[in-house]
Structure 1
Amino acid sequence: MGKSRMEAFSDGVLAIIITIMVLELKVPHSEEISSLAPLLPVLFSYVLSFIYVGIYWNNHHHLLHATRQVGGGTLWANLHLLFWLSLLPFVTGWMGENHFSALPTALYGCVLLMASIAYWFLVRRIIANEGKDSLVFKAVGKDSKGIISTLLYVAAIPLAFVQPGIAQGIFILVAILWLIPDRRIEKVMSEHNDD
């Protein structure tokens, strides 16, 4: 089965997620610059989540570019990923509104952890569908970056109850780790096209 419908649906869901998050930003009722200060935690949590959605969109795009076809299992794995990402607006708003307190920060970390696991399942489902000679299998390799990210989320969740700032720092660190372009899929695609 072709992958275009899955890609279009995923793009639409991710666009809606970003739209919902931005609609949660409340406009101050004053024109004074000081009226923005209470909104800074909400704005920060929005920016962080926007970056995460962008990272997932970018990696999802590259992943599907290297994918030849999808099966029913891949469609369900993709929905699993989209489910966890669709919870980002809720945990983003809760964390920002409560100024990064322990429980909302931990739940934010849980959603990020589950999204990373769901992405891993999606990749494995594509590889199972296409085989070990697939471009995705060649590109992903050991996936050190994915493993490190998942372990950092696992560490951040309990740390949120000790010091939420440390958990926030870990979330930022993982985002920075993924902002550095991951060229694995592009490299394999380029080598494949040269053959």
Structure 2
Amino acid sequence: MDKSRLEAFTDGVIAIIITVMVLELHVPHGDDLHALLGTWHQFVVYLASFVTVAVYWHSHHYLFSRVQTVSRATLWLNTMFLLALSFFPFATAWVGDTNLIALVPEQLYGVVLLIADVVFTLMVASILRNGANPILTTTLRKSEWSITGNVVAIGVGWIWPPLTLIIDVLILTNWLLPDRLLLRKDNQK
């Protein structure tokens, strides 16, 4: 199957997810700076979620730029990946409404991220099984590292709930820093 329809559908769904997340930001109760500052936690979790979804979109774009066709399994895994991402607006809004210190909303946020990482990892593995460039094994390793980090984030969140979000944001640096091997391969094109 040609990859263009999968990419277009994914781009559209991710754009909607980001739009819904911003719609969940609540207007402050009041008309002064103090009222605005009272909603700081909503902006923090929104920013973390926006960057997370953006990193997923960039990673997805990079992944499929190295693929010519997609298998049925990859198509279904991509659909499951979008399902996982579609829970970000709900989890973001719930954490934002609880001042970042409630256990269950933070744990749910971590679980949503963990599920998205697991499905993304399965999708990368499926693409590699279908004969994609072995350079994508670097992406697979990053995904596996992210899963481990998410499990740790959920675990330590039981000690202090904000650690779940803090560690999940730190995991993003793994994806924001470019891999030298991949950059070297990109320059050879």
TM-score (norm 2): 0.92
Name the counterpart of 1:170: 167
C-alpha separation in 1, matches of 2:4 and 2:184: 22
Q: Which aligned segments of 4 or more residues in structure 1 are displaced greater than 6 angstroms?
A: none
Structure 2 portions without partners, runs of 5+:
none
RMSD, aligned α-carbons: 1.7
Residue 86 of structure 1 corresponds to 86
C-alpha contact (below 8 Å) 1:116/1:150 kept by paired residues? yes
Q: What percentage of aligned pairs have identical amino acids?
A: 38
* TM-score in terms of structure 1 length: 0.89
Q: Which structure has more helix as a fraction of its residues?
A: 1
The answer on whether the counterparts of 1:66 and 1:185 sit within 8 Å (CA) in structure 2 is no
1:6–1:184 distance in 2 versus 1, CA, 3 Å: farther
Partner of 2:64: 64
Q: Is the 8 A contact 1:103 1:160 kept in 2?
A: no
User: Could you say which residue in structure 2 is the equivalent of 1:128?
Assistant: 129
Q: CA 1:173 to 1:44, structure 2 compared with 1: closer, same or farther past 3 Å?
A: same
Q: Indicate how the Cα distance of structure 1 residues 154 and 86 shifts in structure 2: closer, same or farther if over 3 A, else same.
A: same
Tell me which residue corresponds to 1:181.
178
Deviation at 1:143, TM superposition (A): 3.8
Contact 1:117 1:150 in 2 (8 A): yes
Q: Does 1:155 align with 2:130?
A: no
Matches within 5 A, 1:100-115: 100=100, 101-115=102-116
User: Structure 2 vs 1, CA of residues 145 and 127 (structure 1 numbering), >3 Å: closer, same or farther?
Assistant: closer
Q: 1:31 to 1:182 in 2, by over 3 A?
A: farther
> How much has 1:124 moved relative to structure 2?
1.0
Q: Which residue of 2 aligns with 1:99?
A: 99
Change (3 A) 1:18 1:146: same
